[in-house]
Every structure is written in C-alpha cells, then in structure tokens.
Amino acid sequence: MSLSERVIKFPRVDGQARLIPAGPPAGETTGGQADAEPAAEGALEPAEAERLRAEAYEAGFAQGLAEGRRAAEAEKAEYLRRLGRLVEGARLEHRRILREAEEQLLVLALAAAGHILGRRLEADEQDLVAAFLAEALREAEGATVVRIRVNPQDYDFVRSVVAERYGDLGVLADPRVEVGGCVVETASALIDSAPSERLRQVARLFRQAHELEYRP
C-alpha cells in the first residue's frame, strides 16, 4: 500500500483538511511487533518448564542408579572370585597338611610294625618262616620253581617243610636273604617274601590309596 493510500484526510473547522497518517492495515505488523511475537511464542509456561525439569531429573537419577547397580555387581563378582580363590587355596593347603601328616603316620606305623614283626620272628620264627614260604609259593603258582633261597639260619627248617609239604624243590642257603624270609626263583621271576619286603609292599599299597584319595 502507498503512502497516499495510508493518509486520512480529516476536515478542520477552518475549512482546510488536515492529513493524519493512518496505522498499518489489518493483518500487517510493525517490526517491533514481529520480533516480540516469536519471543512470546518461544517462552515456556511455568508448568511445562517444571515438567521438563522433573523428566530430566528422573532420567539422570535412573541412569545413575543403573550405573551404580552395574558397579556394585562388578564389585560383587570380583569379591566372589577372590573369595573362591581363597577357599580353594585353603582347601589345597588343608589337603597338603593332611597328606604330609598321614605319610608321617604311615612311616611310624610301618616302623612299629617292623619292630613288632622282628620281635615275633624271635618269639615264633618257624611259624612265620613257614607262612612267608607258603605265600611266596602261592604267588609262584603255575610257574616252574627253580629253587628256593633262604637265610642259612632258616635252611634246615625250610628244607624239612618243603620236603614235607611241597615235594622235591631245591632249597639253597643264601646269607643275602633276610632272616625269616625267602626268595622263590621261577623260570621268569623272583618272588621276594622277606618280612621287610612285605612291609614295603604294604607301604606302597597305602601310598597308592593315599594318592588316589587326595588326587585333585
């Protein structure tokens, strides 16, 4: 719209017209009004602003809570791992102590058995010699017995027992054989039935059973 179109002629008393600029037409705004309206539109209502602040607070709280839980779970898992290692270490140490203690007890028991056996050999030697001989011949059953070696102190007794119970088997005096024991020679093996060897066999059996029991 031109300036002339926006001028309003207002009559005066003196007969002369007075020109008065008209305001902007309906629907048009000045620059100040155009700037003020967007600012007013961009301003938030107090309730809306409070709602946004509450949502932001809740989101931050939930995120912090989740991070705290994750950190607590990680700390708990690490604690359980350390506790498991401590328990396993204590269990292994306990087994080691028991194993060493039982081995020492086994040595003492075998020593005591050897001492008792030695006294039995002195007190009832012939019966024990006959028992060791019978056990050795049972182990040699099915094989060809070449000879039986015994300590010279046991030679006469063993020879009489063999002749009475086992027939024609050769008996040889050998000072290397332990008193009370015997060595049965077959075509393929030697069977040592000395008292100390029997104790060693018992010890081996105990140790094997012991190792199986404490095997990890």
**Pair 86, 144 in one domain:** no
Give pLDDT tens digits for 89-138.
877 777 776 666 665 565 556 555 655 555 555 545 677 778 878 888 88
Domain with 100, as residue range(s), is 48-123
Give pLDDT tens digits for 176-199.
988 888 888 988 888 887 777 766
What confidence score (pLDDT) does residue 40 get? 46
Does 5 map to a domain? no
Distance CA 97, CA 106 (A): 14
What confidence score (pLDDT) does residue 114 get? 57
**Pair 59, 98 in one domain:** yes
**Pair 133, 192 in one domain:** yes
What confidence score (pLDDT) does residue 110 get? 55
Give pLDDT tens digits for 140-182.
888 888 889 999 988 999 899 888 888 888 899 999 988 888 8
Does 66 map to a domain? yes
Structural domain total, the chain: 2
What confidence score (pLDDT) does residue 152 get? 92
Does 84 map to a domain? yes
Does 135 map to a domain? yes
What confidence score (pLDDT) does residue 106 get? 58
- Kindly state the average pLDDT of the residues 80-85: 85
CATH of the domain at 173: 3.30.2320.30
Highest-confidence segment of 17-21, 50-54, 198-202 = 50-54
Calculate the average pLDDT of the chain. Answer: 71
